[in-house]
Amino acid sequence: MPRFGVRELSLALMHRMRDLNPERVEDALSQIGATRAELRAAHTQWTAMAHSSRAPKGLAVLRMALGPQRHSGSRTIGALTCEVARWALPYWPGLELEALVGPDGEVWNLWFVRPSGELRLGLDELVPWTCVIADVAASFPGAIQGEGGAPQHWVVDFTHDGRPYRALFVYGLLQRVR
């Protein structure tokens, strides 16, 4: 199996982000010196590992790609307790990729979070790839989070000055606001 590390996992995440923000992904590819072929290859390898019986699963595959987590702990969600692991990735400074892992070792959720806590932002400060779901929820009282139209997509509906908006996220990272 070819090497799958931080760069490859980041490219696999960007592949899904391309669904909603292809321009930002193209800019990122240029900045890091990656090609569209590398982006596709990373996505293909990530998908193949997810379906392979021999590849590591759950938290083990993330540790294989990203190394030891920067943060680990546990979180109770309703009646369930899950393991929390977070890693810093170079392409998203100030944010960390967080995995919520169930008792069986399966990754329940994988998304970006702000480890220092959410920011309160104005509408003009909602810049793609710099904000996470918690930032928008904290910034606009009454915001409602929902599932998006594809895996790892979310939406947050909110109002500002009486006008409705919808923020679109992939892996919990803001992609655009409508």
Name the DSSP letter for residue 119.
P
Amino acid at 123: L
* pLDDT tens-digit series, residues 139-173: 999 999 999 989 899 999 999 999 999 999 999 99
Sketch the domain layout of the chain as residue ranges: 1-55, 66-116, 123-177
> 100 vs 36, 47, 131, 134, CA distance in Å?
30, 19, 19, 16
Into which CATH architecture does domain 66-116 fall? 2-Layer Sandwich (3.30)
Question: Model-level pTM?
Answer: 0.91
The residues with which 4 forms a beta bridge, in sequence order, are none
* pLDDT tens-digit series, residues 33-90: 999 999 999 999 999 888 888 887 888 899 999 999 999 999 988 888 899 999 999 9
